[in-house]
Structure 1
Amino acid sequence: MADVAIIVPTLRRPDSLERALRSLFAQTGVGDRVSEIVVVDNDPSGSAKAGVEALRRLAPWPLVYVHAPRPGVATARNVGLAATTAPLIAFLDDDEAASPGWLAALLKAQESTGADAMFGPITGRAPEASDWLKPYLERFFGREGPERTGLIETPFGCGNSLLVRATALPGPAPFDAGADQAGGEDDALFAALRARGGRFGWAAEAMVEEFAPAHRATLAYALARAFAYGQGPSQTAAAARDWPAVLRWMVIGAGQTVVWGAGAAALTLIGSSKRAELYDRTARGVGKLFWMKGFEPHFYGARELARLDRATAA
C-alpha cells in the first residue's frame, strides 16, 4: 500500500533540486509504498516548475509540483503537507541527496521502534570551503547519532526525517508560519510532540549527504546559524512560559559564553584551526542569552529571496 509521501521544499536551487530528486528516483527496497514525491516551489515566480516537469518522466512514482508563493520555510512545509494525504511523511531538503536505501531504512526503523518521528545521519559536504574551515563546516552541516537504530531522547531537524502524520503533524498547518524567516519551525513542532509524550527514533542506515553552497560555506554563516541554534532552548521555554527554564538556559548560556569564549580567544592567538569549533560553542552560548525577539537572524523566506535577487542582478 502506498503510505508514504516525500516532501522536498525548494527555493531557486535548480541544480541542487535535480540532484535531490534523482537520488529519490533511485530509492530501493520500498516497493509501491511511495504515494508521491511533492516538490514545493517557494519562489514567488514559480521558477522550479519547468525543471520538475522535465524530470517527471524519470520518476518511478507520481511527481507532484505545488507552488507556495509566500517565501518561508514553515509555509513551504505546510503547503507540501496539504498536497498529500499520506499517513507517513518523509522530508528531504533540496540541498540534500539520499542514499539508495535511505527511505527503506527510515521505514524499517519506524516499524521496529514505533517512533513518531525518525531521523537519520547526514554527511556534510563543503567543497568550496577554505581548507582550514572545511572539517568544521562539514561537521556543522552533518549530523551524527547512535551507531545503532533505536529510540533517542533528543530530536533533530526535519531534513532527513520520517514523521507519523497522525501524531507528529497535528492539524492542517502544524508548522508555525511565524518561523518562516528565522527557521526553528521544526524545533517548536518537536517540542510540542515531546510534551504530548511522542517518541523519537534514529535510523542509523538512513544516510543522506548535505551540500553547502558557497554562500553558506563560510564561518560567518555557520556562526549565525550556531547562534540561532543556541536560541532554541530558551525560545522553546519562553513559548511555554516556563520562566524558570528560561533563566536556567540563560545561566547555562552565560557559562558557555565565558568558558568557550576564553578558549576561542586562546586558540585564535596561536592560529589553531580548531578555533572554529570554539567559536561555534561560544555563539550557541550567546544565543541562549539573547533569545528575545529582535535578535533572531533570518536565513529563509524574504531574506533568502532578496539575496538570490542580488546575486542574479550581479
Structure 2
Amino acid sequence: MRDVAIIVPTMRRPESLARALGSLFAQTGVENRLAAIVVVDNDPQATAEPVIAALRAASPAPLILVHEPRPGVATARNTGLAATDAPLIAFLDDDEAADANWLSALLAGLDHTGADVVFGPIRGQVPEGTGWTRGYLERFFGRQGPSETGLLDHAYGCGNSLMKRATALPGPAPFDAASDQSGGEDDVLFSALAARGGRFGWAADAWVDEFAPSHRATMKYALARAFAYGQGPSQTAARDRRWGGVARWMLIGAAQTAVWGAASLGLTLIFSPRRAETLDRTARGIGKVLWMRGLEPHFYGARELARLSKA
C-alpha cells in the first residue's frame, strides 16, 4: 500500500536539494509504502527543474515537481499538500539529509504511539571556523529528544516529521500563510491540533542531519531565531484571544530576560563559551515580552529571496 508522500520545499539550493533527494532515494524498508516525493520550488524563477531532471530516473517513486512562485514557507507547504492525496505526509527540509532508515523509523513510531504526528531527532552540522560557538550552534540546529520512541507532551517543528493527513492537516491549506515570512506556521498548526485533542509522538531512530549554511551559522542569526521562538507562545495565546495567557507568557519572559540576561553579562565578562546558551535563553525571554505583530524577524519568503539574489 503506497500511502506516504514526502514533501520537500526548496528555494535556490540546488546542491542541498540534490543531497536531500539522494538521501530519500536511499530509504530502506519502505519500497511498498512510498507514493511520491513532492518537491515544491518556491523560487519565482523556477530554478529547481535542472536538479529534478537530472535525478528523476533515480527516484524509487514518482518525483513530482510543483512550482509555487509566491515565496513563503507556509504557502510552499500548502502547495506541496495539494500535489498529493497520500494519507500520510512526511516533511524533510531541503537543508536536511535523512538516514537510510528514516522513513521506516517514522512509520514505526506512528504505529507504536498512535499519534497524529511523530517527530525525529536532528544532528546539527555547521561549517568549519565557527570557533567558540560551534557546540552551541550544532545544538541549536539540531534536535534532541527522548532516547526511546513514545508519546510527547509537546510538538517540535515540521522538519523531520510524519503526519496523519486526516487529523493533523485538515482542509486544503492547513498552514497559516500569515507566517510565510517569519516562520512559525507549524506552531499554529500544532496548537490547533492539541486543542482538538491530537497527540504527538517521537521516533527515536528517525535521524536526519541538518546542514546550516555559513550565513546562518552565526550567533546573530541564532539569536534572531531564538527571539522568534520566544514569541511563539505569546503570539499563539494572542491569536486565540487568551489574554490571560498572553500576560502569563509576558511575565515568564520578563523573568527569563532578567535572570538569563544577568547570567549572560557575567559570562561575557569572563569570555565563557557558555554565554551562547544564556544569550539564547535571554533572547527567548525577550521574544515572549515583545511578541507583537510587526516585530517578527523575517527568515523566509521575500527576505530569503532577496538575500539569494544578492549572493
Verify same fold: TM over 0.5: yes
Structure-2 separation of matches of 1:56 and 1:290: 46
Q: CA deviation at 1:97?
A: 0.3
1:30-49 matches, cutoff 5 A: 30-49=30-49
Structure-1 separation of matches of 2:294 and 2:102: 38
Judge conservation of contact 2:41–2:66 (CA < 8 Å) in 1. yes
Match of 1:199 in 2: 199
Structure-1 separation of matches of 2:47 and 2:249: 42
Structure-2 separation of matches of 1:252 and 1:49: 47
Judge conservation of contact 1:118–1:203 (CA < 8 Å) in 2. yes
Structure-2 separation of matches of 1:15 and 1:303: 21
1:96-111 matches, cutoff 5 A: 96-111=96-111
Q: AA paired with 1:148?
A: E
Deviation per CA, 1:44-86: give whole Å up to 9, x if none: 0000011111100111111000000000000000000000000
Q: CA deviation at 1:175?
A: 0.3
Q: AA paired with 2:151?
A: L
Structure-1 separation of matches of 2:56 and 2:69: 21
Q: 1:129 to 1:143 in 2, by over 3 A?
A: farther
Q: CA deviation at 1:113?
A: 1.0
Match of 2:157 in 1: 157
Q: CA deviation at 1:128?
A: 3.4
Structure-2 separation of matches of 1:21 and 1:123: 18
SS of aligned partner of 2:172: coil
Match of 2:136 in 1: 136
Deviation per CA, 1:125-181: give whole Å up to 9, x if none: 002351201100000000010010000001000000000000000000000111000
Deviation per CA, 1:89-130: give whole Å up to 9, x if none: 000000000000000000011011110000000000002351
Match of 1:217 in 2: 217
Judge conservation of contact 1:129–1:218 (CA < 8 Å) in 2. no
Judge conservation of contact 2:31–2:60 (CA < 8 Å) in 1. no
- The unaligned stretches of length 5 or more in structure 2 are none
Q: CA deviation at 1:292?
A: 0.2
Match of 1:284 in 2: 284
Judge conservation of contact 1:128–1:217 (CA < 8 Å) in 2. no
Q: AA paired with 1:93?
A: D
1:245-260 matches, cutoff 5 A: 245-260=245-260
Structure-1 separation of matches of 2:131 and 2:66: 39
Q: CA deviation at 1:14?
A: 0.4
TM-score (norm 1): 0.98
Structure-2 separation of matches of 1:131 and 1:101: 33
1:244 equivalent to 2:244? Answer: yes
Structure-1 separation of matches of 2:105 and 2:88: 14
Q: AA paired with 2:228?
A: A
1:37-116 matches, cutoff 5 A: 37-116=37-116
Structure-2 separation of matches of 1:172 and 1:184: 19
Q: AA paired with 2:64?
A: V
Structure-1 separation of matches of 2:256 and 2:35: 46
Judge conservation of contact 2:102–2:206 (CA < 8 Å) in 1. yes
1:118 equivalent to 2:118? Answer: yes
Q: CA deviation at 1:31?
A: 2.2
SS of aligned partner of 1:171: coil
Structure-2 separation of matches of 1:241 and 1:164: 28
1:12-31 matches, cutoff 5 A: 12-31=12-31
Structure-2 separation of matches of 1:268 and 1:52: 47
Q: AA paired with 1:288?
A: K
What's the % identity of the aligned pairs?
A: 70
Q: CA deviation at 1:188?
A: 0.2
Give the number of aligned pairs. 311
Structure-2 separation of matches of 1:20 and 1:251: 41
Match of 1:266 in 2: 266
Judge conservation of contact 2:119–2:161 (CA < 8 Å) in 1. yes
- The unaligned stretches of length 5 or more in structure 1 are none
SS of aligned partner of 1:135: helix
TM-score (norm 2): 0.99
* RMSD, matched Cα: 0.6
